[in-house]
Structure 1
């Protein structure tokens, strides 16, 4: 059996056993009676798996540009598990959750996401004291009298989280600062307690309005969902260890604006003036990265300190000459552009592509490597 299919089947069976122990306990007993019953069980399992994916909610892409892999897994698992929590809810899919999380936290951008889903530092919205920050002009207080604030990647109010909290990673804790818990909680909140079909655009819009009573918000989330529904799904980056950590760090910043001079080991920062192109694009008023700033940030995640200058980065590590071709690069290698002086750097992700912050007016993105400008690579981790 295909390993990925086997993983999906195992996940589905695990959820079914957890949610319907008697049903599956009986089937296990039937299995003891012989091969014929075993064949029937296999047939039932295939039907269940196919039915479970009929609305697209169990689609599990390996990688989506702009979404950290752990966050994507959290969205996928929440979409798969919500049927056991809200059986009257249909049509949930990972793209709905991703569409919301992009608006609320840019998929926990700039944070560290642990394998179990814990996000640090915590994502905290401003105190809702009615001052107008974040659009809030009506004070909202917690039961203890303090001003409420939205928390976590899905920006739940404490009182709202108390009504929908979930344990999405089965660790016995229901934590809005955990990707798996928060995604499953968001799915539960969108579904509500009565019948709902999120494949119906009107019902989906109503659910999003319940999440945030703003037509502009709903329009933005719907646009995100449409974009994710049509996204070209990519396989996971073929990297491990330090190289994967570097690439994951850079991937977590996809969509962050280019800002000349921006980027530190801690994340995006305000750009600076250059007296020319960057100034015309207003980079000095943007929070983001330039090309070497993005590289500096990503490599800091594995304890490698780099200068904030592509030419200075070019002389570091082991040279991968242009003449050796792109097939000589490993994921995580730095790739440089000339002609003449080195003027650009990106991080190789495989398949002749790099993640980079290209130029003023753009954003962090994945691009094909332009061979005419490619000046060779540098390997810092092997």
Structure 2
């Protein structure tokens, strides 16, 4: 079944030695024990319309919950005993269970396929609750906190519980705070085909590679139309056409970047780029770069008119034909092949902000 899914997915991208990307999930970066469940994390994320969840995020959460052990049980608590690969307690399982793999429900939360699909449905509901809450944080972070501690604690703190919440003696951070941090960091690593260490450090030195490294720190941060600043992710806005997801204004409740604010953030320490893609091209047009001479940090532009002066999208060249960019509403900052990032025919040119 695993081989059949990969063959039919049409989304396999081998972007480097030993690195295989499937639907945004880097199988080579995952522990071997988790790779067999990759098709189910892909299917589970797809349940949540609008790209609100990613396979890498759900897989990272599964690893944090159980290290991909389908039979594990946690210690008994006042709320019940957490079971299986996604660590459901009975009361929550009763709400989200379905026979996803057609083999019956006798195993309950210890059926890994059923549990992974239920994990996605539960997380999707929590993300929706987070978006409605208006709390000033990424809805995915809030959803993770709700999954770990219960949504009531997220409401109590109006955000992810603080570092001291549920902290035991000798620990640097509380359970929920650490849970959210670790999963978000792991998801970033598992969502890119370029390793977090050597892949970035091997870019060399200078303002261009520094801009790439700065952008790279934001992998996994959500796209937010109008959001982002030289200081980091912020909530955005909707303008009547942009920023909407599933009929609601996603940007106004999502702390993140759009394409040009990510470029601005990446280059800001050395070059104060203007805010929009078209203006960024205008500010750097005196230093054009041919496609064959692209170097890390160069700005790459796409336009419907063929002229970068009316660019609708900008990305930062990473190297080896890849860019790091914030694609669109519902997606997150990612690294992907330049020709797949936007329609190939819309490529309009590139510039080099640094000297």
What band does the TM-score fall into relative to the shorter chain?
0.3 to 0.5
TM-score (ref. length: structure 2): 0.46
